[in-house]
Amino acid sequence: MPPKKKRVASETAGAGSSKKRAGKKPVHEEIESSSHLSEPAPGSDEHEAPEENPQFDNEPDEGLQVIVLGSSGGPFEDRTSSFLVRSLSTNWREKSMIAIDAGSLLAGILHVLETSVKGGPGPFADLPMDEIQTNIGRALHIFRNIIGSICITHPHMDHIAGLVINTQALQNTSSPKTVACLQSVIDALKQYVFNGVLWPNLTDDQGAGLITFHTLIEGGNPMLGSEDQIGYDELCEKLLIKCYKVTHGECAQTYDSMERRWRRRSSVCPHHAHQQPDPA
């Protein structure tokens, strides 16, 4: 029976995992067993390390690696919303990672590479890239080859700017980059962004063919998966995704009729809220 695949919920950008090891004794049994241990023989090493259990050797890690490229909504154009996600139960390979949103993509990857110490515990430390000499080249390699799909939660600029600007870097690749999102997001990207006016049509819909769209269904596609994986789309190896509708909330504001201006009441204001003037 194949191992369960990791699941990611688009929009919420949250996922959890747990690890259970077969053969591990319950805590009360371990305590009872320890009470029958004999005293160490004279001259023996009381702190001798226990023998390794081969049952757990080379056991693959479980869980998700999440790399935050950006979480801002402005006003600076860098570090805008984008997260890279991959399953730790797989090795680094082509298309083994997905991006959740793409406000900052290539620039975010480059920032992570430049701020990580070579050979240190950076998020890409164990990704084989020794033959690539520059961080720009490594960032391009990750974007072009390691990221298999890009999931867009909604088409606000702070979530798509990197996708739009970076798409031209996909020239001379073997296949178009998959962009997975709701049909409403696909329609918005085609109509308002990749329309030959705001930006060239780089899609595979009568365009350059550098990106292709994969339609997600709100709540998941009931025809996909089985048992507890029903409705999940597999966008890369051992990584499944399902999208849910969420709200960004509202910005609390008051209107000062004397100064004719808006004043924010809260120091935390969702960057997607829209101001509505007072009819009075």
| 38-96 pLDDT, tens digit each | 455 555 555 555 455 444 444 556 789 999 999 988 888 888 999 999 999 888 999 99
What pTM, to 2 d.p., does this model score?
0.68
Q: What is the pLDDT of residues 169-213, one digit of tens each?
A: 999 998 999 999 999 999 999 999 999 999 999 999 999 999 999
On average, the pLDDT of the chain sits at 76
CA dihedral 209, 211, 214, 216 (to 10 degrees): -140
| Structure-token pair, residue 231 | 């409705």
Q: What is the pLDDT of residues 125-135, one digit of tens each?
A: 889 998 999 99
pLDDT value for 245: 81
pLDDT value for 51: 53
- Helix ranges, the chain (H): 27-34, 106-115, 135-141, 157-166, 183-188
Which amino acid type is present at position 136?
I
Q: What is the pLDDT of residues 90-139, one digit of tens each?
A: 889 999 999 999 999 999 999 999 988 665 678 998 899 989 999 999 99
Roughly what angle, to the nearest 10 degrees, separates helices 157-166 and 106-115? 90
CA dihedral 106, 111, 114, 117 (to 10 degrees): -120
Contacts of 55-62 with CB under 8 Å at 24 or more apart are 55/21, 55/22, 55/23, 56/21, 59/21, 60/88, 60/89, 60/90, 61/88, 61/89, 62/17, 62/18, 62/19, 62/88, 62/89
